[in-house]
Amino acid sequence: MESVQFCDIPESGIDRALSLAYLVFHETPEEEKRKHHHDLLRDCTRIGAYENGELVGFVAAFPFTVSVPGGELPCPCLTFVSVAPTHRRRGVLSGMIAELFARAAADGSPIAALWASEDAIYGRFGFGPATYGHTVEIDSRRPLALRITPDDRPLRLIDPTDAPALLAEYYDRTRTERAGRIARGEAWWREEWLVTEDQEDDELSPPRVVVLGAPEGPVAGYAIYRTKTRDDAPGLVRLDELEADTPAAEAALWRYLASIDLTGLIRAWGRPVDDPLHLFAADRDQVRVTGEFPALWLRLIDVRAALTARSWAAPVDTVLDVRDDRLPANAGRHRLTASPDGCTYESTERPADLTVEARDLAAAYLGGTRIDALVRAGLATELTPGTAAALDAALHTARLPHTVDEF
Ligand SMILES: CC(C)(COP(=O)(O)OP(=O)(O)OC[C@H]1O[C@@H](n2cnc3c(N)ncnc32)[C@H](O)[C@@H]1OP(=O)(O)O)[C@@H](O)C(=O)NCCC(=O)NCCS
């Protein structure tokens, strides 16, 4: 490993880095997709692993901002994690991640995040799954049965090229209502959400954007979806995003999607785990959760900065003993004193009330994993009875964290 050096990849090296990424991900993208990736990478931190001048490893990080309870934080988001097949399992990824953690700490980013292609990889680096998503299918061959009355304001389809301004206004206003959501710039809206040809399925239609609310009034909700016909089954509505102000507004959008002629199935990916749809749908056989998956994996780079940056729902005064092999500055006993008025987190000699690994604290940080569940799973140890319950009350968020922007 001494033969491998880690350093920034200059802009002139992006093409080479992309070739390595396509090699390890077994992709042969069209020129347009390659150009898109090139554009995305220009704004990223790019770390390369070089051996004798050859690029053998590459990782990039988007300079994103992610919502956390009570606010938002700068959060480098790892992507294009690639190691040459000739150099795997020699510590190249470990070296690149250590480099990225050092950059994040120097830049004052208390957290980092990623989506994992394989769950087994990132726990050892201190990442824990902090948000989860559901895949949902709705049988729309019959009218959607609802227990509430949908909002009766008008629905209108808008041109996707005009959509970013309208949707961004809504999204930015509501984004921090849930932790785990990523701030979207205009290019992200256009290239990731509203791009004409779907990246994974070229049989899907271009994106359709439906908005609830009169043109002169505020947007009360929106859905982004694509459709396709199928040979041996009614057509498909692939829902990419649905957001709305109220349950009635959500119901109106779901009812619209379920009533599109010549379709008989809605498939939605990455829905929030606490989606109110599952309560207001009258027929649980019609609306089914077909899968659950970890979405955003979070790393607390600086545990003190992360904990003191979020809001707390209830008072707690406790001593945590944190295990963190990769970033030892986080390790050891710390007194956490938090309440809705603020939080302090200081090193202490007092005995610990709870021991927890950094990766599990990261999973609990946004309110999506309960400390009590970690204790029951044998992953955290409660030394003073009641500590897990007090921490869970303090970490609680009204809505579960949610991430749907995959990168
Ligand atoms: C996954 C990948 C980046 C790992 O890189 P690497 O340089 O071999 O990783 P390292 O040698 O630094 O391994 C670090 C540790 O992670 C483990 N590890 C690495 N990849 C793993 C995997 N896919 N599954 C389980 N464990 C893995 C190693 O065994 C090692 O464990 P240890 O610390 O207990 O010894 C590399 O194999 C790769 O590029 N794969 C194809 C692309 C990919 O899957 N990228 C991830 C996208 S999210």
Boundaries of every domain in the chain: 4-109, 133-294, 301-395
* Per-residue model confidence (pLDDT) at position 152: 95
| 133-294 matches 4-109 in CATH topology | yes
Q: Give the C-alpha separation, 214 to 211, whole Å.
A: 9
Would the CB of 96 count as within 6 Å of ligand 1? no
Q: How many CB atoms lie within 10 A of CB 326?
A: 18
Q: Which amino acid, 318?
A: T
**Percent of the chain surpassing pLDDT 70:** 100
Tally helices (H) and strands (E) across the chain.
11, 19
Strands 4-8 and 316-323, sheet pairing:
unpaired
Q: What is the mean pLDDT of residues 116-135?
A: 96
Which residue's alpha carbon is nearest to atom 5 within ligand 1?
Answer: 93
- Predicted structure pTM score: 0.95
* Per-residue model confidence (pLDDT) at position 403: 97
3-state secondary structure of 50: strand
Tokens, residue 348: 């202490």
Q: What is the mean pLDDT of residues 102-119?
A: 95
Q: Give the C-alpha separation, 311 to 313, whole Å.
A: 7
Superfamily (CATH H level) for 4-109? Gcn5-related N-acetyltransferase (GNAT) (3.40.630.30)
Could you give the dihedral angle defined by the CA atoms of residues 209, 210, 212 and 217, in that order, rounded to the nearest 10 degrees? Answer: 50
Q: Give the C-alpha separation, 56 to 47, whole Å.
A: 11
3-state secondary structure of 60: strand
3-state secondary structure of 207: coil
Tokens, residue 142: 């019959």
Q: Is the pLDDT of residue 61 over 90?
A: yes
Q: Give the C-alpha separation, 239 to 175, whole Å.
A: 19
Q: Is the pLDDT of residue 1 over 80?
A: no
Would the CB of 145 count as within 6 Å of ligand 1? no
CA of 294 to the centre of ligand 1 (A): 18
Residue 79 belongs to what H/E stretch? Answer: strand 71-83
Would the CB of 88 count as within 6 Å of ligand 1? yes
Would the CB of 120 count as within 6 Å of ligand 1? yes
C-alpha 262: how far from chain center: 33
Grade residue 200 by pLDDT with cuts at 50, 70 and 90: confident
Q: What is the mean pLDDT of residues 30-49?
A: 94
Q: Is the pLDDT of residue 53 over 80?
A: yes
Which residue's alpha carbon is nearest to atom 44 within ligand 1?
Answer: 117
Q: Give the C-alpha separation, 144 to 46, whole Å.
A: 47
Q: Is the pLDDT of residue 2 over 80?
A: no
Pocket test for ligand 1, best of 18, 117, 121, 325 (most atoms within 8 A of CB): 121
CATH class given for the domain over 301-395 = alpha beta
Task: Give the position of tokens 């090229």.
Answer: 161
Residue 280 belongs to what H/E stretch? Answer: helix 277-280
Would the CB of 111 count as within 6 Å of ligand 1? no
Would the CB of 83 count as within 6 Å of ligand 1? yes
* Per-residue model confidence (pLDDT) at position 231: 87
Q: Is the pLDDT of residue 232 over 90?
A: no
Active-site entry in 80, 101, 122, 225: 122
Q: Domain 133-294: give its CATH architecture.
A: 3-Layer(aba) Sandwich (3.40)
Strands 127-129 and 342-347, sheet pairing:
unpaired
Task: Give the position of tokens 């302090």.
Answer: 344
CA of 113 to the centre of ligand 1 (A): 17
Q: Is the pLDDT of residue 32 over 90?
A: no
CB 274, CB 139: distance < 8 Å: no
Q: What is the mean pLDDT of residues 386-407?
A: 97
Instruction: Enter the DSSP assignment of 87.
Output: G
Grade residue 199 by pLDDT with cuts at 50, 70 and 90: confident
